[in-house]
């Protein structure tokens, strides 16, 4: 079941900004001020040293919460990556980054992955001129991602975000106006991340 509670609570639990709030917003500013204070009435008390399992669990939770996945979805991605030839962590990363909702977010067409997921769900996004309403759709190199209708850009929060965004996207993607293209398979070299996917692999391999 996908978490629908306060987003800042998740980020404070992990101690990192999970990009769950619009960059530069008041809510994100509040998060950054309290990021080192875990949620709950005992948030300021000292925690016991984490075990190896505990550290792996926290890394897994970071990944799940960053991409807005359920436990079932993340485990499925791990199992698919494990069956393929190559580095399992790199294959897992490529799957996570290739999700359509993540690509819409990375292209700077939505302020958060949750907003991107909603746009996809509501039929605002097309892949190669075909309507796609599945956020978990895995896009491929060469795919063209864009809004299906011009009026989508007139949605207030989309208009405001695109106007102020600096298009700081990874170089495996490119964008002209509101039309994006996938130029290469995503790797961790292209995107800096605050989690260790190798720990996630070790968690599910136990």
pLDDT in tens, 153-186: 888 878 777 766 655 678 899 988 889 999 999 8
Q: How far apart are CA 112 and CA 152, in angstroms?
A: 16
45 lies in some domain: yes
Say yes or no to pLDDT of 49 above 60.
Answer: yes
- Where residue 43 sits, what CATH number does that domain have? 1.10.1050.10
50: which 2 tokens?
């984490």
Q: How far apart are CA 203 and CA 206, in angstroms?
A: 6
Q: Are residues 104 and 167 in the same domain?
A: yes
- Where residue 137 sits, what CATH number does that domain have? 3.10.290.10
Q: Among residues 42, 89, 95, which one has the least CA distance to residue 73?
A: 95
Burial class (CB in 10 A: 0-12, 13-18, 19+), 185: middle
59 lies in some domain: no
Q: Are residues 45 and 116 in the same domain?
A: no
Residue 92 binned pLDDT confidence (cut-offs 50, 70, 90): very high
Say yes or no to pLDDT of 3 above 70.
Answer: no
The helix/strand/coil state of 5 is coil
Q: How far apart are CA 50 and CA 62, in angstroms?
A: 15
Domain that holds residue 132: 100-182
- Please write the tens of the pLDDT for every residue from 22-38: 555 555 555 555 555 56
Per the structure, the count of domains in the chain is 2
87: which 2 tokens?
């580095």
Q: How far apart are CA 111 and CA 162, in angstroms?
A: 8
- Judge contact between 125 and 101, C-beta under 8 A: no
Q: How far apart are CA 185 and CA 173, in angstroms?
A: 9
pTM: 0.78
């Amino acid at each position: 079941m996908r978490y629908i509670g306060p987003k800042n609570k998740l980020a404070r639990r992990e101690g990192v900004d999970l990009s769950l709030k619009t960059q530069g917003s008041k809510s994100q500013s509040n998060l950054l001020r309290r990021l080192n204070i875990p949620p709950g009435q005992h948030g300021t008390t000292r925690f016991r040293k984490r075990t190896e399992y505990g550290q792996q669990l926290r890394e897994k939770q970071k990944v799940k919460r960053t991409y807005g996945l359920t436990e079932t979805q993340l485990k499925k991605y791990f199992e698919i990556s494990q069956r393929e030839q190559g580095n399992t962590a790199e294959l897992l990363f490529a799957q996570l980054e290739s999700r359509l909702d993540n690509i819409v977010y990375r292209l700077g067409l939505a302020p958060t992955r949750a907003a991107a997921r909603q746009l996809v769900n509501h039929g605002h996004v097309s892949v190669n001129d075909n309507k796609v309403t599945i956020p978990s759709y895995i896009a491929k190199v060469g795919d063209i991602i864009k809004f299906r209708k011009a009026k989508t850009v007139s949605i207030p929060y989309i208009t405001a975000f695109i106007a102020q965004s600096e298009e700081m996207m990874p170089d495996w993607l490119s964008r002209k106006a509101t039309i994006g293209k996938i130029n290469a398979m995503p790797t961790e070299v292209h995107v800096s991340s605050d989690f260790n996917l190798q720990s996630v692999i070790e968690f599910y391999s136990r």
